[in-house]
């Protein structure tokens, strides 16, 4: 006679096998839709050309100080020539031949339909052969809630001193204006990648005299280190009752949940304790989060190494998230589960959503891809494998199918 426990286990195993089968069937259908779309786009004779940005500069690019240059921007019938300042940008990514840049124009300019601004990031996205991972993640985060901040992105082709540099991702720069800081409020501040989630003070930071990397206001005008000191003390030094009573006043937990879930969904372990901006728009507001740097996502680690969930993000490596999840009496885990269900029910976290985003971006990129990959071959020495652009798009879908299955199990979600 089969006992109840064995029967339950057999049923559970069958349910998970059936669920996996449904996921695999769904991802294969999405891949078929992608291939059909690629053929349709390739046969179309009315593809639009990407905007083109040409930079003229008379010396090597400086990585520490901006230098004067001239830009020529063309997008359809629009044509602008503007003086600007430029410098190299990046840390680990400096090892690659394709560089990223920070560009400051002397007047506002709209790039690819993004609202006009004078500050831009030209991101090389070299290790991401799809050129989409940053943009898809940023777009997802903004769609999760109207108050979530992540840079808008547009694709362009870059020429540097008449040398073709390939497709770049132009991004809004995260600064005071971007996060909506009230500059007249003495309590407003902005930090980039603040090491507030490390218990011990780090020896290696960009500038020990500006340990929390305060970006606004300038440190000499008003030092807001106390904001980060107080959050750090609450995370690492408070007792449980104090932590639970004060954490929601110190940091925006609704925004924390969306950031947390996007990290889980994309498997971006690199973003747990860095790669974000923390800011306060006014003295009486909690700290909020704007996301940054998501090439470490959707089946690839930040150096392009394949990671189809062989290594899975451990969200408890972030001490604040660990306390929110594990402190007795905390309701955060239940709220996180509820929020995940909302994102699944709304279709924001779904294969259909990612497929749609891939198709939209591909339609924009496709007319320039051949030229780009002639300049930057997909089998170059810096890559772990020679996967093609189309194979990388299919890899993202395969990853999302596997990851959604895992997260559905964690959060008790049924299709």
Do 332 and 247 touch, CB atoms closer than 8 A? no
How confident is residue 44, by pLDDT bands cut at 50, 70 and 90?
A: very low
Q: Could you tell me whether strands 153-160 and 52-56 are parallel, antiparallel, or unpaired per DSSP bridges?
A: parallel
Give the phi and the psi of residue 75 in degrees, each rounded to 5. Answer: -140, 100
| Backbone conformation region of residue 45, classed left if phi is above 0, alpha if psi is from -120 to 50, else beta | alpha
Prediction pTM value: 0.89
Residue 2 reports pLDDT greater than 60:
no
Please count the other Cβ atoms lying within 10 Å of the Cβ belonging to residue 123: 23
The first and second tokens of residue 162, run together, are 């008449």
Enter the tokens of residue 14. 């069958």
pLDDT of residue 392: 98
Q: What average pLDDT does the segment 56-62 reach? A: 87
Closest by Cα among 365, 403, 363, 355 to 128: 365
Quote the crossing angle between the two packed helices 389-410 and 351-375, to the nearest 10°. 150
Each residue of 195-244: pLDDT tens digit? 999 999 999 888 899 999 999 999 999 999 999 999 999 999 999 999 99
C-alpha angle with apex 136: 132 to 138, nearest 5 degrees? 120
Looking at per-residue pLDDT, the higher value among 196 and 13 belongs to: 196
Rounded to an integer, what distance in angstroms lies between the CA atom of residue 359 and that of residue 110?
24
The pLDDT of residue 94: 74
Pair of tokens at residue 408: 């559905």
pLDDT tens digits, 97-131: 999 999 999 999 999 999 999 999 999 999 999 99
Cα atoms found within 13 Å of the Cα of residue 360, Cβ hemisphere only? 10
Instruction: Provide the pLDDT confidence category of residue 7 given band limits of 50, 70 and 90.
Output: very low
Q: Cα dist. 370→157, 167, 388, 396 in Å?
A: 12, 11, 12, 21
Instruction: Please report which confidence band the pLDDT of residue 11 belongs to, taking 50, 70 and 90 as the band edges.
Output: very low
pLDDT tens column, 293-345:
999 999 999 899 999 999 999 999 999 999 999 999 999 999 999 999 999 99
Q: What percent of the chain has pLDDT over 70?
A: 88
Average pLDDT over residues 243-251: 98
Query: Among 41-55, 64-78, 199-213, which is the least confidently predicted range?
Result: 41-55
CB atoms within 10 A of CB 353: 18
């Amino acid at each position: 006679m089969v006992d109840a426990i064995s029967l339950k286990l057999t049923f559970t195993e069958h349910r998970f096998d059936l669920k996996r089968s449904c996921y695999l069937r769904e991802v294969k259908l999405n891949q078929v839709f992608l291939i059909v779309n690629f053929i349709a786009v390739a046969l179309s004779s009315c593809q639009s050309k990407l905007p083109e940005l040409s930079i003229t500069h008379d010396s090597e690019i400086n990585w520490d100080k901006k230098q004067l240059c001239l830009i020529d921007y063309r997008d359809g019938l629009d044509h602008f020539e503007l003086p600007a300042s430029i410098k190299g940008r990046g840390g680990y990514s400096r090892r690659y031949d394709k560089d990223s840049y920070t560009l400051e124009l002397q007047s506002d300019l709209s790039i690819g339909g993004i609202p006009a601004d004078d500050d831009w990031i030209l991101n090389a996205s070299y290790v991401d052969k799809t050129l989409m991972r940053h943009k898809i993640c940023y777009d997802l985060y903004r769609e999760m809630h109207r108050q979530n901040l992540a840079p808008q992105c547009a694709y362009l082709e870059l020429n540097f001193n008449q040398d073709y540099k390939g497709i770049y991702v132009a991004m809004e720069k995260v600064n005071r204006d971007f996060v909506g800081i009230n500059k007249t409020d003495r309590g407003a501040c902005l930090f980039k990648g603040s090491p507030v989630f490390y218990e011990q003070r780090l020896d290696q930071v960009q500038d020990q005299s500006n340990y929390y990397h305060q970006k606004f206001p300038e440190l000499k005008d008003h030092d807001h280190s106390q904001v980060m000191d107080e959050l750090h003390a609450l995370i690492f030094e408070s007792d449980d009752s104090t932590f639970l009573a004060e954490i929601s006043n110190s940091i925006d937990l609704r925004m924390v949940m969306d950031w947390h879930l996007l990290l889980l969904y994309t498997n971006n372990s690199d973003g747990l304790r860095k790669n974000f901006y923390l800011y306060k728009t006014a003295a009486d507001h909690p700290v909020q989060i704007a996301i940054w740097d998501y090439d470490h996502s959707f089946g690839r680690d930040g150096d392009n190494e394949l990671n189809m969930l062989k290594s899975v993000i451990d969200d408890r490596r972030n001490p604040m998230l660990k306390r929110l999840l594990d402190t007795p009496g905390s309701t955060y885990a239940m709220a996180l589960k509820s929020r995940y269900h909302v994102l699944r029910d709304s279709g924001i976290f779904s294969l259909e959503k990612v497929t749609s985003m891939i198709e939209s971006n591909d339609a924009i990129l496709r007319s320039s891809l051949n030229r780009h990959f002639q300049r930057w071959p997909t089998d170059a020495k810096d890559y772990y494998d020679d996967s093609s652009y189309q194979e990388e798009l299919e890899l993202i879908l395969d990853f999302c199918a596997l990851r959604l299955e895992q997260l559905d199990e964690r959060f008790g979600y049924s299709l």
